[in-house]
A and B are shown apart, each in its own frame.
Chain A
């Protein structure tokens, strides 16, 4: 075990893995490694974070209410990587920029909402709403769970679920005009256990049911699934160091 002297900064390093759909609407999953790294003031609480949360910074923080900018990276979709996408062409990586608000009416209930505008692979608007009940069984063991809802505009939906005439010819799928609206509802749960002040392990599952035009897309109906499940786990090691 690495030394863990007392100090004024804490570094957390770790590795996780995530088994998630190969692409939005896919029926198959793939495993991807997830690095874990953070630096924070020693003793700072590792604030509750949901697996679906965007990267965000709380510029406004009055304890039970936090708000600030949020960013999410949406990986590109390469048509040649998966047979189901043959003929649909690539979708570039998207960068979603926006903001979040988070409210804790009590310490064990988090309500969070994000609104982001896409750039690159899609140019639409995405809104996420979630609630998490956070129950510390003992201080070291915490479970959380709650519902999720996502709304997407037409420009955020069409690149991934629409099929134009050219794509229809190349893919064999019928043409489909995917419009925006309620995109998905879901449920997520996670468990984290702090073995000691240094080691922490966690696991989570996120289920998402595609709705509306995303669920009705021929890509989903004929070659994929509207049921999207992500399972992840990870372990991290925290150590303090002192800067003088």
Chain B
């Protein structure tokens, strides 16, 4: 009986292992076939201000437009530089607002069951069509405190009884969408840059001391956010096997 259980367990582990290896092989071979890519970025249209921890009742997140900061242009420029060594990167045009408007459903199974909404948008909204793949960079979401979600680019305050903590974040996820079938070859959220922060969220973020309320604060905030993106993009693209040596 015990031998039978061990054999069944071993077979199950082997099946899972072979399945994972096959999936990895499929992904690797699909990535190898990619020669031309287009890059789409839609995270930099607005910045949020979120408060968590010991807050008052009126603590809804606030947003402001930052399209003038040109963060998406910066991301496309950086990604082009990073991917240019391996792929032929072609400029693409798309409606940024349409990509930025897509949100995950609050009901988790819906996200698993429904077709990826970015696939359809790449098919219908991006020109030129026919590239081998499209790299789509959009907002990602994380929890802050117990009951608050933060996403995309933002400034967050975590208030405690004895101290307040501020952090900036640039939460994004990257999809590789195949250019003919529009299948999502891989999707990955950018990871935190380190694990030493007092307040952590699930993506690139960093502590800040400044309140960004004086003259010139907007430019400093933009520079700090841009720094997060520039530091994390090589890691994320490296994790996705799009660039080597990270």
Q: Which residues of A contact B (CB under 8 A)?
A: 4-8, 10, 41-45, 47-48, 58-64, 104-108, 110, 134-140, 197-198, 240, 242-244
Bound Cα distance from A213 to B241, whole angstroms? 63
Task: Establish whether residues A45 and B143, one from each chain, have CB atoms under 8 Å apart when the complex forms.
Answer: yes
Complex Cα distance, B228 from A192, in Å, reads 30
Binding site for A on B (CB under 8 A): 51-57, 59, 106-109, 142-149, 158-163, 165, 188-189, 191-203, 205, 238-241
Name 15 interchain pairs, CB-CB below 8 A, sorted by A: A6-B191, A7-B195, A8-B239, A10-B195, A43-B142, A43-B191, A43-B205, A44-B201, A45-B200, A60-B106, A107-B146, A107-B148, A135-B54, A136-B160, A243-B239
Q: A42-B202, A63-B148 are in contact. List 16 more A-B contacts (CB 8 A).
A: A8-B191, A42-B195, A43-B201, A45-B200, A45-B201, A47-B146, A60-B106, A61-B149, A106-B55, A107-B52, A107-B59, A107-B146, A136-B53, A136-B159, A138-B160, A197-B196
Given contacts A6-B192, A7-B191, A135-B161, contact A110 B197 (CB under 8 A): no
Q: What is the distance, in angstroms, from A104's C-beta to the closest C-beta of chain B?
A: 3
Knowing A7-B191, A43-B200 touch, does A110 contact B160 (C-beta < 8 A)?
A: no
Judge whether B57 and A105 touch: CB under 8 Å.
Answer: yes
Pick the contact of B143: A8, A42, A47, A106 (CB < 8 A): A47
CB-based contact B54/A136 at 8 Å: yes
Q: Give the nearest-CB partner of A140 in chain B.
A: B198
Majority SS at the chain A contact face? loop
Closest to A198 in B: B195
Find chain A residues with CB under 8 A from B59 CB.
106-107
Q: Is the CB of B147 within 8 A of A63?
A: yes
Expressed in whole angstroms, the minimum distance between the Cβ of A28 and any Cβ of chain B is 36
**B105 closest partner in A (C-beta):** A60
- B203 with A43: CB separation less than 8 A: yes
A residues less than 8 Å from B194 (CB atoms): 6
Q: Contact between B203 and A64 (Cβ–Cβ < 8 Å)?
A: no
B42 to chain A, nearest CB (A): 22
Partner pick for B202 among A43, A59, A104, CB 8 A cutoff: A43
Docked Cα-Cα span, A242 to B195, in Å, equals 12
Q: Which of chain B's residues have a CB closer than 8 A to the CB of A244? A: 238-241
Collect the chain A residues with CB atoms within 8 Å of residue B238's CB: 244
Q: A43-B201, A107-B52, A244-B238 are in contact. Are A137 and B160 (CB under 8 A)?
A: yes
Select one of B51, B57, B144, B191 contacting A45, CB under 8 A. Answer: B144
B165 partner residues in chain A, CB cutoff 8 A: 139
Q: Which of A6, A41, A43, A60 has the most CB of B within 10 A?
A: A43
